[in-house]
Amino acid sequence: MSRPGLFITFEGIDGAGKSSHIEGLAAAFRAQGRTVTVSREPGGTPLAEKLREMVLNDPMDALTESLLIFAARRDHLRNVIEPALARGDVVLCDRFTDATFAYQGAGRGFDLDVLSTLERLAQTGLAPDADLMREPDLTVWFDLAPEVAAERLAGARVPDRFEAQPVEFFRRVAQGYADRAAAAPQRFARLDAAQDRHRVWQQLTSVFVRKGWLAIMVASQGGPQ
């Protein structure tokens, strides 16, 4: 019996702790027999990973940044996400288009209407239904106060162009995520990312159990080490 693919994205400001939970979730899905594709944005294909290096490190204006991010996204959708969904995989993607609205839109103050236009261009015409604009089935939002995230990130590694931004930038990005979540409450699941890792894992898996996508037994095993 073939099951439909699931497209799940993970969002939050830098330091919110989302990445460490994605592998655990992949293991939980695999434990109940699903094939899982784990990926990230910007990135996920050789071309998109090259664009990621530029976006994270080279100086550029907000339009150039947005164009490169959507170019990377289209290549990723075309070569990884759509084929995986067509096979019936669970696709777990670390960031997607909500990050563009939060970082480039709210954070950098770039025009949201232009972002919507780019979104339509980049995300349409790739699915079996040619008119479909691909969007996640579920977006898990790791909500954390920017001040707490900054403390967690302090001294962790050499910061990229985004991590090097002041806390006010991340306040705007966090508000951008809150606005996106308010506009699409049926797609977003908010987690309180200020809690310890185990509690965040419990919140995360209970979202999937409620949706009927993970069995309680599978969800209660595993989690962060």
Going by the annotation, the residues of the binding site are: 12-19
- Cα 77 to Cα 83: distance, rounded to the nearest angstrom: 8
- Cα 121 to Cα 115: distance, rounded to the nearest angstrom: 10
Q: Are the C-beta atoms of residues 215 and 32 closer than 8 Å to each other?
A: yes
Which is closer to ligand TMP, CB of 49 or CB of 137? 49
Name which position in 28, 80, 91, 99 contacts ligand TMP (CB under 6 A). Answer: 99
Measured from the CB of residue 38, what is the shortest distance to ligand TMP in angstroms?
13
Q: Determine, following the binding rule CB under 6 A, whether residue 95 of this chain makes contact with ligand TMP.
A: yes
Per-position x/- string for 138-177, each x denoting binding to ligand TMP as judged by CB under 6 A, each - no binding:
------------------------x---------------
Which is closer to ligand TMP, CB of 82 or CB of 119? 119
What's the token pair of residue 156? 């962790």
Measured from the CB of residue 20, what is the shortest distance to ligand TMP in angstroms?
11
Instruction: Look up tokens 């594709």; give the residue.
Output: 37
Number of chain positions touching ligand TMP (CB under 6 A): 12
Name which position in 8, 9, 17, 41 contacts ligand TMP (CB under 6 A). Answer: 41
Q: Are the C-beta atoms of residues 31 and 218 closer than 8 Å to each other?
A: yes
Instruction: Look up tokens 């987690």; give the residue.
Output: 191
Measured from the CB of residue 180, what is the shortest distance to ligand TMP in angstroms?
12
Measured from the CB of residue 160, what is the shortest distance to ligand TMP in angstroms?
6
Q: Give the number of other CB atoms < 10 A from CB of residue 16.
A: 26
Residue 204 phi, psi dihedral angles, 5° rounding: -60, -50
The binding site for ATP consists of: 12-19
Q: What's CA 218's distance to the chain center, in Å?
A: 23
The region of 21-29, 34-42, 80-88, 144-152 touching ligand TMP under the rule CB under 6 A is 34-42
Residue 124 phi, psi dihedral angles, 5° rounding: -115, 150
| Cβ-proximal residues to 5 (8 Å cutoff; 6+ apart), any chain | 84, 85, 86, 87, 88, 89, 90, 91
The region of 1-9, 77-85, 98-106, 199-207 touching ligand TMP under the rule CB under 6 A is 98-106
**Residues making contact with ligand TMP (CB under 6 A):** 14, 40-42, 69, 94-95, 99-100, 103-104, 162
